[in-house]
């Protein structure tokens, strides 16, 4: 009798486990979205082009009116009215440096969010003549091996060392491009910077380092816009860089 009871008990436990597994299996493909809107604290919910989740789990959201930090429950805005941000139009995604600080650019400056101090500091670079650069900032690459940044300021590209904010230099090339992509080697060294033009302009720049001379060289590639309005199909080292349509 006792032996029979154990059998029924085991069957009951197994049936419960099987039902639970089937229930969980049926749920695994369900994806739940939480939409953040003006009612949640996103004051400017248009043109939120850049979103980045950092190593601490915070989500950083760009806008035309500064940035937002979301911790899963609360949204904290940072803009020119409540912080030190220079200009509210964010022009880059967010990069986290080797000590956890967050970097981004607005049109008028490079910015650093210091996590310990909970403070944003704007940084404006100076060109070779000592004039402060006040426009065309766009951060596009973080280099982990030396904790440095690559960004456009004015009409030139700069290499900026985070550990010493006065230590930066121009790559010595000018560009009219508005968006940039970077191709790197396996050890993180930049092979080339690919600059793409703004709307209704053709061609793009390839900026490459010459490690022997220590200088950077720019090669402009002329391309024709596709007749249908799409982008041409351009390759660099076998990697497509623009669009899906070739020029005839």
Q: What is the mean pLDDT of residues 34-56?
A: 84
Greater confidence, 240 or 29? 29
User: What was the pLDDT predicted at 6?
Assistant: 53
Q: What is the mean pLDDT of residues 4-27?
A: 48
How many C-beta atoms lie closer than 10 Å to residue 233's C-beta? 15
User: What was the pLDDT predicted at 29?
Assistant: 63
In sequence order, which residues have a C-beta less than 8 Å from that of residue 221 and are 6 or more positions away? 203, 204, 205, 206, 234
Q: Which of 16-20, 223-227, 229-233 has the lowest mean pLDDT?
A: 229-233
pLDDT surpassing 90 at residue 160: yes
Q: What is the mean pLDDT of residues 75-103?
A: 95
* Mean pLDDT value across the chain: 80
User: What was the pLDDT predicted at 223?
Assistant: 58
Greater confidence, 141 or 25? 141
pLDDT surpassing 80 at residue 11: no
Q: What is the mean pLDDT of residues 56-75?
A: 94
Greater confidence, 74 or 32? 74
**Candidate ranges 35-49, 85-99, 182-196; pick with highest mean pLDDT:** 85-99
Q: Which of 36-45, 47-56, 143-152, 159-168 has the lowest mean pLDDT?
A: 36-45
pLDDT surpassing 70 at residue 134: yes
Q: Which of 27-31, 54-58, 233-237 has the lowest mean pLDDT?
A: 233-237
User: What was the pLDDT predicted at 222?
Assistant: 60
pLDDT surpassing 50 at residue 97: yes
Tokens found for residue 183: 């191709």
Residue that the structure tokens 């003549």 belong to: 129
pLDDT surpassing 90 at residue 105: yes
User: What was the pLDDT predicted at 158?
Assistant: 97
User: What was the pLDDT predicted at 151?
Assistant: 97
């Amino acid at each position: 009798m006792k032996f029979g009871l154990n059998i029924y008990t085991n069957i009951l436990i197994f049936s419960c486990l099987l039902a639970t597994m089937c229930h969980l299996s049926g749920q695994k493909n369900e994806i739940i979205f939480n939409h953040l809107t003006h009612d949640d604290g996103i004051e400017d919910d248009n043109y939120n082009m850049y979103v980045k989740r950092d190593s601490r789990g915070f989500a950083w959201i760009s806008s035309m009116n500064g940035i937002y930090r979301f911790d899963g429950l609360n949204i904290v805005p940072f803009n020119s009215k409540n912080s030190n941000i220079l200009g509210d139009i964010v022009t880059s995604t967010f990069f986290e440096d080797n000590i956890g600080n967050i970097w981004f650019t607005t049109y008028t400056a490079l910015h650093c969010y210091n996590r310990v101090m909970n403070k944003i500091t704007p940084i404006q670079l100076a060109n070779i003549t000592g004039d402060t650069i006040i426009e065309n900032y766009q951060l596009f690459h973080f280099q982990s091996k030396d904790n440095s940044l690559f960004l456009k300021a004015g009409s030139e590209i700069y290499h900026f060392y985070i550990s010493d904010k006065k230590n930066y230099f121009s790559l010595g090339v000018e560009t009219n491009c508005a968006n940039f992509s970077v191709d790197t080697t396996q050890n993180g060294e930049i092979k080339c910077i690919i600059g793409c033009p703004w709307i209704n302009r053709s061609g793009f720049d390839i900026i490459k380092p010459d490690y022997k001379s220590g200088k950077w060289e720019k090669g402009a590639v002329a391309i024709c816009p596709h007749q249908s309005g799409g982008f041409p199909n351009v390759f660099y080292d076998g990697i497509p860089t623009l669009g899906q349509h070739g020029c005839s």
